Structures are given as structure tokens and as C-alpha cells.
Amino acid sequence: MSSSKKLDIYFGITTYQTLGDCVKELIVASYSIYLNLLSKVNNHPITIVCGGQSPSYYCLAMMNFKIFNPKLVNIIILPHSKGGVKSDDQNNENILYCERLKEKGIILNDNVVIIDGVHSGTGILALESALKYCFPSINVYKIAINSQEDIAKITVDEEIVLPSEPKFSDTFPRLVTSFHPRDFNDSSKFITEFINLENNPVAKMIIDIAKKYPKIPVEETDWYIDNNEVTDEIKREREKERIRIEKISELKHISKLKRISEDQLKKKGGTFKTIILNDPKRYQCPKCKTITGELAPLYPKDTTLFSHNFDCQNRFKIPIEY
């Protein structure tokens, strides 16, 4: 008999995703990330560092998959909270954080993967700095899980876009404690394990589904079915999302056509008879009527000096005087 149930839990601001959709997205993404890391081991085990609330639910799912193999890719919970605030003394924070790691007997593999929601990048960079201070030989690979593209203000090694991410980072119950720099000298607040799992219904749902995935698809589980209520509000949000995606697809299509057009013009090349203007000497395109500066007549083969309209047939052609 299934232990699933419809969860009575605050769901935050409604989006186009049901609770079931959010958990499905998390399960599928977590499995893909972990499977990909397993394929990259090559006799060099990997450590995934779960540093805060944002990645905790993804790590929870990974730890309950049948493919989870801590000898190859293990997961360590290392709470590290910055809240977007840059450090006044990063070196001092690193020293204190390293002391906490050593007290706990934390050992990392040489290849480390940090998974986090990345906005300003302050948090993930500070955690990376602290880990490298304590374990100088490690190689760090940063994965950003964000709800939209281009949210990350720093360069990461991989960005995964999951619209449900804010639900797990901001709405659902915490799985890891907060551990701020102001508390780095307090060992009692450095808790390296999940908290309150027994009283967290979302966690129970994820654990149960993860144990059976991918043998049983998420959408076929009772958990998903019971928590996939499509309300009128969700229907309205789905229509907004459909329109948004259509607009993005249309803009991408137009952009692609423009690139194809430019490539064709570049390949076509050729020459065209230009209008000559004097005092000072300049060129004017007979088709789009744009006028060059004084350098174009001196270097006519440099087509970048002749700015045509983007759809002008003479674009990328060399002006010729007759």
C-alpha cells in the first residue's frame, strides 16, 4: 500500500507548476546530475558539497537513488550561509571554517562539485575559497541551479535552469541549518546533516519517489497524482507561460533568420557602385542611403567602415568608384 498523500503545505506564490510538477523536475534533474558525475569519475572519486538550503533537496534525492554510490560520488552537507553579503575578511572566515571542518573530521575527494543557486555568486565563491584554503589540492566544479537563464552574475562551470528552484530554496521547510560567518567560531551551530526529515512532508515525498526512480516514472507514482491538482490559477499561469515561450521562440527564430541572412551576404560578397560625396570625401550607398566617414574612401576593402542598414543588399560588399 502506498504511503502517499495530498500534502497540506504552504506552496508560496502560485506558478504554472503543481507541487507534483516541482518534485518531478527536481527528481529528473537530480538523477541526471548524479548519473553524469558518475560517468566522469575515471578512478578519481568526486565529492558533492551541499552547502545550503538551495541544493539540499537535490542532494536528498541523489542520496536515495539506487545508483547512489558514495565510494565514487559521495555527498557531504557543509552549511555555509552568506545571504549575498560579501566578506569583510575572507581569510579570517576561511581559517574559522577550516577549524570547523577539521573538528568534524571532514575529508573531501580531490574533485569537488559545489551545487547551489547562484545569483550574485557571493555564497558559492566564499564556500569555494574556504574549501580551497582547507584543502589546497582540490579541484572545484561549480554547478548553478537557477530558475531562469542569466541570473548568475559570475561565471560557473555549468548552469541548469529549473523553474521550480525557488520553491525548494525559499518556500519549502529547511533541510539544512543556516551557518553564517558570525557563527563560524561556534562549533555547535555547524550541523552537517539534514534536519527535521521526519516532519517534512516534501522530503518524505522526494525520498519515496527517488527510491523507485527511474524504474517507476515520477508521474506514475501516487505521490505525483495526489499532488498534481491543476487549479484555475495554475491554468492561467500556464497560459501566460505558453505565451512567454512562444514569444521567446519567435524572437529566436527571427534572430536565426537575421544570422542566416548576414552569413549569406558575407559569402556572396562582391562590389557595388558607390555614390561619392566631397568636401570631405565620403561614400553613400545608393540603396539604403547611409553615409560613411572619411576613412571608408581611404580603406574601401574594409567593409566595417561602411555601415549599411541590416537588410541592405550592399552590406558586406566592397564599394567601387566609377
Q: What is the pLDDT of residue 153?
A: 84
Give the DSSP per-residue string, 154-193: S--SEEEE-TTHHIIIIISPPSS----GGGTT-GGG---S
Q: What is the mean pLDDT of each run of 10 residues along the chain (322 residues)?
A: 69 84 96 96 94 88 97 95 75 93 94 90 89 95 89 88 90 90 91 90 95 96 93 89 82 68 64 92 93 90 85 87 84
Cβ distance 206 to 224 under 8 Å? no
Alpha carbon distances (Å) from 148 to 34, 98, 124, 152, 155: 21, 33, 18, 9, 15
Nearest to 16 by CA among 223, 144, 225, 167: 167
Q: What is the pLDDT of residue 1?
A: 40
Alpha carbon distances (Å) from 156 to 125, 128, 159: 10, 12, 7
Q: What is the pLDDT of residue 250?
A: 79
Alpha carbon distances (Å) from 107 to 34, 49, 99, 205, 241: 20, 11, 13, 30, 44
Residues 6+ positions from 300 with CB-CB distance below 8 Å = 283, 318, 319, 320, 321
Please report the sign of the dihedral spanned by the C-alpha atoms of residue 143, residue 144, residue 148, residue 150: negative
Q: Is 251 exposed, middle or buried (CB count within 10 Å of its CB: 0-12, 13-18, 19+)?
A: exposed
**Interatomic CA distance for residues 127 and 107, integer angstroms:** 15
Give the DSSP per-residue string, 205-259: HHHHHHHHTTTS-GGGSHHHHHT----HHHHHHHHHHHHHHHHHHHHHHHHHHHH
Cell numbers 589540492 label which residue? 137
**Interatomic CA distance for residues 7 and 202, integer angstroms:** 8
Domain ranges of the chain: 19-243, 268-320
